A and B are shown apart, each in its own frame.
Chain A
């Protein structure tokens, strides 16, 4: 039997090397001991579950960020990219990234951010847009970030 079936362009776009790399070797992974803010994100239908830890200094700088949990390649890679992106930023700028990423992933006009940022590596996530059932995997960590910065301490659910 021929077991060679080539992935389509859409699929290659979804599982880019950068995404797979972050999924296999997530950055800033593990619990952060001295944390000032944290939030949990769950995707009840998928079972994805992650907790985001932030250390926010008095001047509103995010001086440390980690996450732990389990999920699919898309949710883990997105969380990993998040930690790389926002580490060292002001909370205000981190929230700008939140808005930009959600807009990148959903394309919903209502989510169109006032400030457009160069998303750099985060652009690797744009392939997710072609997979509606996976968008919430990619947004999970970002919603948790929003919740953590706003100090709601709520569990963020994609449902």
Chain B
């Protein structure tokens, strides 16, 4: 691959790349160039080892046994909760609820926070650029309650309009649910400003942070959001792990989401006393090994520092955007001033899936399609995009390989 000989920029950090075993393989005879971290990120060796060590030495059920393994499993599992509370600066570990992923976290808020009090005429506000997981749970909720889902528009660059959202936030609105970073476009929304406005009107705000947490420093107290949701597998941890941060006073008032073991203090056929936070929301045996891995992933991120990661990716995204825009017939989709990690594009009139197949044959993994954001595609009048997404382990070499592969795709179709 010609990109291998390219001079490394000072921000390229081969140590980071070296931590990820999956990146060191050939695909279709080419070194793997992984540009699909927005769909799911690869895992560092420390995460893989933490899960394996847990399985080999510490596995038992959590919060239950008096024996040593159960104690070890509980320590490891709860250790992740402490680490995450610290990582996103929650005021208390009780505000960290473990879920199966962002989707699960959002559904929990829809059903437990909103549904008991929502009535016809009430409104939930989202934006046009949301992932389906921040659309469909609200549509279902509205069907269940007679409330109305209101969608704030986006502009040609893929950014929301703060003044429009401000106008929408009247007394009928019971929740504002927004992406922190758009998965399809990479737009970083001005969430702090918007939350500030919502707060003055007493409207709670949920942020879908799935695409933000792996790329930006996130401080839930500084943001002053009421709920913050994210997924482990997009931040170098295992699949099937997710987090719901909720303001303690709100979580306290919410009924349980699911019933079962671990979420109770006392059960009789006359009635059940629910467990304290956050266990009230964690029914059943959780994905213990997954959360042990997630704890290792957060540790990995903290060791590097989110500010450094953010700076590295910012420079790399600028490089990638420039390189892509210099390719003949590339149309960039998502051109907001403030972006993180993602660049969607179209190559001439070649369908994104054909682009994806040709790139894969050169070892370059990108996502193609609607990215679970079909309303975004409808807005831009396209069936889908090709999307290159970056993570801390990507380098300029990866971008150069992408460009070479796109030229090949262009030649095949020209």
Contact = CB atoms under 8 A, between A and B. Distances in A.
Interface of A: 1-8, 10-11, 14-15, 20, 45-49, 70-74, 131, 133-134, 137
A29 to B, nearest CB: 15
Given A7-B361, A20-B413, A47-B377, A74 B369 contact: no
SS class of chain A's interface: helix, strand, loop or mixed?
A: loop
21 contacts: A1-B2, A1-B3, A1-B404, A2-B2, A3-B404, A4-B407, A6-B408, A8-B361, A15-B358, A15-B412, A20-B413, A46-B368, A47-B370, A47-B374, A48-B353, A72-B352, A73-B354, A73-B413, A74-B353, A131-B357, A134-B357
Interface residues of B, number: 30
Contacts of B413: 15, 20, 73
Nearest to B362: A5
A70 B353 contact: no
Nearest to B351: A72
Contacts of B6: 1
A116 B374 CA distance: 41
Contacts of A10: 361
A1 B400 CA distance: 8
A11 B412 contact: yes
Interface of B: 2-3, 6, 28-29, 350-354, 357-358, 361-362, 368-370, 374, 377, 383-384, 400, 403-405, 407-408, 411-413
A46 B369 contact: yes
5 tightest Cβ-Cβ pairs between the two chains A and B: A72-B351, A72-B353, A3-B407, A2-B2, A5-B408
Contacts of B368: 46
B407 A5 contact: yes
Contacts of B354: 15, 72-74
Q: Which of A6, A49, A72 has the most CB of B within 10 A?
A: A72
Contacts of B353: 46, 48, 72, 74, 134, 137
B357 A14 contact: yes
Nearest to B411: A7
Given A1-B3, A73-B350, A74-B353, 5 more contacts: A1-B404, A7-B411, A11-B412, A72-B353, A134-B353
